[in-house]
Amino acid sequence: PRRDDWVLVSAHWVKRPWQGQLEKPPPEDVPRWDPNNPLCPGATRVNGEVNPQYEGTFVFPNDFPALQPDAPEPGDSDHPLFRAAAARGVCKVMCFHPWSDLTLPLMSLAEIRAVIDAWAKLAAELGASYPWVQVRGCPVPRCPSQVWASSFLPNEARLEDRTQRQHLREHGVPMLLEYAKQEARRKERLVVENADWLVVVPYWATWPYQTLLLPRRHVCRLQDLHEGERDSLASIMQRLLIKYDNLFEVSFPYSMGWHGAPTGPYLEEDCGHWQLHAHYYPPLLRSATVRKFMVGYEMLAQAQRDLTPEQAAERLRSLPEVHYK
Annotated binding site for Fe cation: 160, 259, 277, 279
Strand 8-9 relative to strand 304-305, pairing:
parallel
| Three-state secondary-structure class, residue 231 | helix
What count of other Cβ atoms lies within 10 Å of the Cβ of residue 105?
22
**Rounded distance, CA 90 to CA 264, Å?**
14
Helix (H, G, I), strand (E, B) or coil at 115: helix
Is residue 46 classed as helix, strand or coil in its secondary structure?
Answer: coil
**What's the CA gap between 112 and 223, in Å, rounded?**
16
DSSP state of 22: B
For residues 106 and 241, give the distance between their C-alpha atoms in angstroms, rounded to a whole number. 9
* Packing angle, helices 227-248 and 309-317, rounded to 10: 100
CA–CA gap between residue 148 and residue 34 (Å, rounded):
26
Distance CA 191, CA 154 (A): 29
Residue 144 near residue 96 (C-beta atoms within 8 A) = yes
Q: How many CB atoms sit inside 10 A of residue 298's CB? A: 16
Phi, psi of 292 (to 5 degrees): -90, 130
Nearest to 105 by CA among 240, 253, 288: 240
Q: Known binding site: residues?
A: 160, 259, 277, 279
With a CB cutoff of 8 Å and minimum separation 6, the contacts of 224 are 276
What are the backbone angles phi and psi of residue 229, rounded to the nearest 5°? -70, -30
